[in-house]
Structure 1
Amino acid sequence: MPDIRVGIGGWTYKPWRSLFYPPGLAQSRELEYASRQFGAIEINSTFYSRQSPASWRKWADAVPDDFRFALRASRYCVTRPRLADAGEGIGNFYAQGMDRLGAKLGPTLWMLSARRAFDRDDIAAFLDLLPERLGDRPLRHAIEPRHESFRDPGFFELARSRGVAVVFGDDDDFPCIDADTADFRYARLQRMREEVMTGYDDAALGRLAALAGDWRKDSFLFLINGAKLRAPAAALALQQRLGKAAGPA
């Protein structure tokens, strides 16, 4: 059976302390709690700065064995004029100690600028730079284009040839591309509305659950951005639609 994991972006967000986390829960235990409600969490702070080896070890120790962290790759890799020049940045990104996560290391998200149009040669060179392993652990990669020009069979061919997933971005501002290019799928669901207690209404949750079922492969679905206040409730509701209890797969 496919391994479908639903999660949120990060775990430290003050408004969640009155809506999601139990009253009186210490902030230092929020990751421990959240990781027992969801199968994965996307870490976005890795886009902005390096983390210490001690932090990676602490995070690994706080979560269950079957939990996964997805990591948003450093901005120093994806914001340069030519992605083909990102080799040193990619090496530095993977050298910060994340190997301490061990089996809890999930996919890396490579989010491209909304201004970056599809350049076949540059994208091909960039995909060739993505490492297949970190130590003895295989790596998975997902790329999120945010320009309409990536809706191109040539891009899908490149991603498929390297086994890189194309992010399904349910978003009002950027193109939503549904392309099957890897042995897993990666979705970022960003159309939550604050006036809806579960972020997405029942009909939308049903459509998203059906979509994940139709993919028939390992999947990571993150409720992120949009009305962030509602992300945990939306993730829990989507898990329920998928017939999954709270907690890792």
Structure 2
Amino acid sequence: MLNTTVNAATHDMEEGKVALVTGVGRAIGLGFAVARELATCGHTVILTGQDLSRTQHLADRLAAEGLSVCAVRLDVTDPATIAECVEFVRTSFGYLDVLVNNAAGGFDIDQSLLTADMARAHVAMDVNFFGPWHTCAAFASLLRQSSHGRIVNISSAAGSLTDGLTSPEIGDLMPGYSLSKSALNALTVKLANAFAGTSVLVNAVCPGETATHPETGDEQNARSPEESAKGVVWAATLGSDGPTGSFFRDGVRLPW
């Protein structure tokens, strides 16, 4: 049985655009900031995450602000929860306008390529690459039901073949994470081809260095999740003549 709770909202949930954001589990996370921004723009937003109690708490906060939201359990590495979430969206709305693949894992800055723990590398690939691939495939029919289908893959410049992977600052560090983001970028191009001829636009977005993990001290140099979310929402709300199969940060194209 699907484990979900739907919050009352200020307008009927079947009116307007419907967006789904994966990996929403922390109030200081990028996913929560993206969900709030999309809901503020008028979308009904489905917040999803591995731990429904945490995601539900965040959805309750947005509902208290008068925003149209609901919470559903979705683990992008668990096919059963993906299928259940698809069924929830199908029966509740019948279509999906925006899919933001935000769930991420395997940030292995402490590893180097030739001595890496392959189990950790597999985690990075499962969450950052296979998870979005499976999720996009599962929601494909619902995205095609929209006249404004948008897929946004949250990527990283660390995976850029002409930037991050050749950066002397990164070198051979962070192998699982950076290579998984390279694979996600490649998936973005393949997805754009798969949806060619439809209204679905698919792009990757690097949010930039974002202060989402204060325990690592990243808040000292990074920008806020709210600031980084704007570039994600830009890609999620592109017009029908917008780009597809490209890589951006803050609306500016990045090299693959």
**Same fold (TM > 0.5):** no
State TM-score, norm by structure 1: 0.37
Higher relative contact order structure (alpha carbons within 8 Å, sequence separation ≥ 6): 1
Higher helix share: 2
Higher strand share: 1
